[in-house]
Chain A
């Protein structure tokens, strides 16, 4: 009744849809269109850009140097996603099977870092990982205790910061909630009696996991992968603060074009290549989902 009526009531529709549409258009679509236009322009002077319809920026963007950084960014994001999946699946499972009272607290524990400012979290990681950081302090103390009994060389702090592993560690740390929440949502929906039926029919826990739980949680796994991979691909702050000279990702390059290099058209072209990449991935996921649904 009312569910059908609102489609016909144009005024109501306009009143509810209007403001968000207006907001999205003015502050998202229009700026995006401007940047998109820039990607076909060239610098004429310090602040002026002429939209000339050139493809030169894109041609520059697909040079080996930048393609390499694109490729490396994808590799980092993929590694981050795989680690998040491997680490997040057991966490999501544990929350699913936790007693109802504990569930909310466990979910809060997953969400809490997520609600903390990214900059603060990243600096906290630096405090943990740096040469005088908590890990090295602890290791040094243990080393010293060992030195009391055994003859060992002096402690050399582990280099854990400003390199690729540090970036990967940071990316996993930041993006783990993105993976855990969709996984949890998918696993929590799963009918428990399906798991029990599998056990009842003779399968152990591992085979039940592989033959029943994972296939049925696949939509959740797919969306978790996508939701983790996309922001990881565009990560900027993490490689900037935790990475070394060779760990820059595509977002760092884009930032440099807009700021230090002052080459907005090239930065815009790089940005849109990243955006197209994202579109392709979302499309692929939608295709997979639809095929599963159609079956």
Chain B
């Protein structure tokens, strides 16, 4: 991506606890100035990987380089990284200013300079004037800002964030999301965040590494993760998806047909490059399916597919009206359940469909992601 050498490079890192490999042969690089997210379900090894970057765990195998230097044997207090802990870990016996000044005091920064940098860091997280407060006089959101200021005051090369938003309530989480993004923009430091919340990762990160059971499954930008998942696990973990199994029937350079039991023959407008008869999976996002009333018998016509493909009949089983959009649970005539999301573009859109109503479902030839495994 960038011509500069990566700020963090992880090469073949494995971490074993007993027989269990918490992190299993992970290699990746993180570029200077990136907002990088380690994403995965709990127990996938993302936190262990972050703790290895901070120096709280040592890799069983492999090498971690930070800023080009091998970190093997370098203790946490000698690494150019700082961490914002999930529990914030604000020192309860020190005032906010003393918390923020802690790392600077340890580094021997002179008092005048220290005070200036504490003020600067507190201003950065919008806590001006809170220096004299004790942590127990502050809300959870404010304590998190203290933890952020404390880590940023040291001007690290990399800021590590462990589930930074998980302890906040929904409204605050949304607000903090934007703030974290703008903060990273302002300070220009590389952020590495661990999260199990895909929305958080998609909203904040420039690139995400999706992990499962210690392994790196996919490393991509948020939109690539969503639109071009490389596996059923990623497609399923990121957002909601209708997953359908099928076999490859026709495979040409410009089109492919996949035979499925549940959706009939599905037409794809690109080559799949697989063996005919191979088992494949179609990941079809709910918002990429269109809904039509089935009052008349004629199925809708799709301009990018031959007739008869990519259209199935069903009945609306349940509608969840979410305001900005509606989620439809549709039962197909063969019994398969499909999720469809439809934006409520006008103020009476939701009146078009009711429960128990027969509908057509259709999707474009480019809509499904074709997955091998």
Residues in chain A within 8 A of chain B (CB atoms): 191, 193-194, 196-204, 207, 211-212, 215-216, 295
- With a cutoff of 8 Å between Cβ atoms, the chain B residues found around residue A295 in the complex are 134
Known pairs A191-B87, A196-B56, A207-B106; A201 contacts B82 (CB<8 A): yes
Nearest chain A residue, comparing its CB with the CB of B160: A200
Is the beta-carbon distance between A197 and B89 smaller than 8 angstroms?
A: yes
Shortest A68–chain B CB gap in Å is 40
Is the beta-carbon distance between B154 and A197 smaller than 8 angstroms?
A: no
* 25 pairs, A vs B, C-beta closer than 8 Å: A191-B87, A193-B85, A194-B89, A196-B83, A196-B89, A197-B91, A198-B102, A199-B55, A199-B75, A199-B76, A200-B55, A200-B76, A200-B81, A200-B82, A200-B83, A201-B102, A201-B151, A201-B154, A202-B78, A202-B103, A202-B107, A202-B154, A203-B103, A207-B106, A216-B92
Shortest A46–chain B CB gap in Å is 60
Is the beta-carbon distance between B82 and A193 smaller than 8 angstroms?
A: no
- With a cutoff of 8 Å between Cβ atoms, the chain B residues found around residue A197 in the complex are 83, 85, 89, 91, 147, 150
Residue B171 interfacial (CB < 8 Å):
no
Known contacts A197-B89, A202-B154, A216-B92; can you find 18 more A-B pairs with CB under 8 A? A191-B87, A191-B89, A194-B92, A197-B83, A197-B150, A198-B91, A199-B75, A199-B77, A200-B54, A200-B55, A200-B76, A200-B151, A201-B77, A201-B150, A202-B103, A203-B77, A207-B106, A216-B93
Is the beta-carbon distance between B77 and A194 smaller than 8 angstroms?
A: no
- With a cutoff of 8 Å between Cβ atoms, the chain B residues found around residue A204 in the complex are 75, 77
Nearest chain A residue, comparing its CB with the CB of B54: A200
Total number of B residues with any Cβ neighbor in A under 8 Å: 26
- With a cutoff of 8 Å between Cβ atoms, the chain A residues found around residue B103 in the complex are 201-203
Q: How far is the CA of A246 from the CA of B257 in the complex (A)?
A: 103
Is the beta-carbon distance between B77 and A193 smaller than 8 angstroms?
A: no
Q: How far is the CA of A51 from the CA of B104 in the complex (A)?
A: 68
Shortest A106–chain B CB gap in Å is 21
The secondary-structure label for the interface of chain A is helix
Shortest B129–chain A CB gap in Å is 20
Q: How far is the CA of A171 from the CA of B102 in the complex (A)?
A: 40
Please report the number of residue pairs spanning A and B whose Cβ atoms sit closer than 8 angstroms. 63
Is the beta-carbon distance between B83 and A194 smaller than 8 angstroms?
A: no
**Of A193, A202, A203, A215, which one neighbours B89 at CB under 8 angstroms?**
A193
Q: How far is the CA of A14 from the CA of B103 in the complex (A)?
A: 56
Shortest B148–chain A CB gap in Å is 12
Q: How far is the CA of A191 from the CA of B147 in the complex (A)?
A: 15
Is the beta-carbon distance between A215 and B82 smaller than 8 angstroms?
A: no
- With a cutoff of 8 Å between Cβ atoms, the chain B residues found around residue A193 in the complex are 85-87, 89
Q: How far is the CA of A216 from the CA of B56 in the complex (A)?
A: 21
Is the beta-carbon distance between B77 and A202 smaller than 8 angstroms?
A: yes
Q: How far is the CA of A201 from the CA of B80 in the complex (A)?
A: 10
Nearest chain B residue, comparing its CB with the CB of A215: B93
Is the beta-carbon distance between B87 and A196 smaller than 8 angstroms?
A: no
Nearest chain B residue, comparing its CB with the CB of A194: B89
Shortest A121–chain B CB gap in Å is 38
Nearest chain A residue, comparing its CB with the CB of B162: A193
Shortest A48–chain B CB gap in Å is 59
Shortest A93–chain B CB gap in Å is 18
Shortest A200–chain B CB gap in Å is 5
- With a cutoff of 8 Å between Cβ atoms, the chain B residues found around residue A207 in the complex are 106
Known pairs A201-B82, A201-B154, A202-B154; A212 contacts B76 (CB<8 A): no
Q: How far is the CA of A207 from the CA of B91 in the complex (A)?
A: 14
- With a cutoff of 8 Å between Cβ atoms, the chain A residues found around residue B154 in the complex are 201-202
Q: How far is the CA of A200 from the CA of B103 in the complex (A)?
A: 9
Q: How far is the CA of A254 from the CA of B271 in the complex (A)?
A: 100
